Amino acid sequence: ADFDSDGTVVMGDYLSGDFVLTGNQLGIGTTAPASKLHVDGSITSAISQRVDTSTSYTFVIGDQSNIVACANGSAITATVPPNTDVAFPLGAELAVVQAGAGQVTLTAGAGVTLYAADSELKTRVIYSMAYLYQSSANNWIVAGDLTS
């Protein structure tokens, strides 16, 4: 690592701007990061899938930024727990797919509010997905291929 006169820490090949840490900003592929994480180039991301075959599921911290595949022939209830039980960070994202004949109904744990267009919180058909975004503690926005 090298240190510039302004306190910037430069790692990797400075001339090509591989990694730059300045203050609380990290630049990848740039020598002048404009936000906490500034990437100049393509990003590859991989997510995992958890398959659950029960008729009742409660999201866990490991589900964040991954997919929960609910695979049962009967109706399934997927519960978003309160922040006191599972401390998802603000901006957390959850995804669920109906992987069997049983429709998935999203429910709110104690003190949790789910906001969805037309209050639709049930997957429509097999392979329908729902996406949940935590906008503030215990408040989630829900979107996807949903019905009432």
First-to-last alpha carbon distance for the chain, in angstroms, is 56
Looking at 45-128, which runs of residues are DSSP E strands?
A: 49-52, 56-58, 67-70, 76-80, 93-98, 104-108, 113-116, 122-123
> Which strands sit side by side in the sheet containing 2-3, from one edge to the other?
2-3, 9-11, 19-22, 25-28, 37-39
Mean pLDDT of 36-50: 84
**Residue 123 and residue 144: Cα distance in Å, rounded?**
8
| Predicted pLDDT at 59 | 98
pTM of the model: 0.74
At 51-68, the pLDDT tens digits run 999 999 999 999 998 999
Q: What is d(CA 99, CA 2) in angstroms, rounded to the nearest whole number?
A: 51
- What SS3 class is residue 48? coil
CA distance 101 to 144: 17
Q: Where are the alpha helices (DSSP H) in 20-143?
A: none
Distance CA 77, CA 71 (A): 12
Report percent pLDDT > 70 for the chain.
89
| Residue 27 banded pLDDT, cuts 50, 70, 90 | confident
| Residue 76 pLDDT exceeds 80 | yes
Q: What pLDDT does 15 receive?
A: 47
Instruction: Kindly state the helix (H) or strand (E) to which residue 11 belongs, with its residue range.
Output: strand 9-11
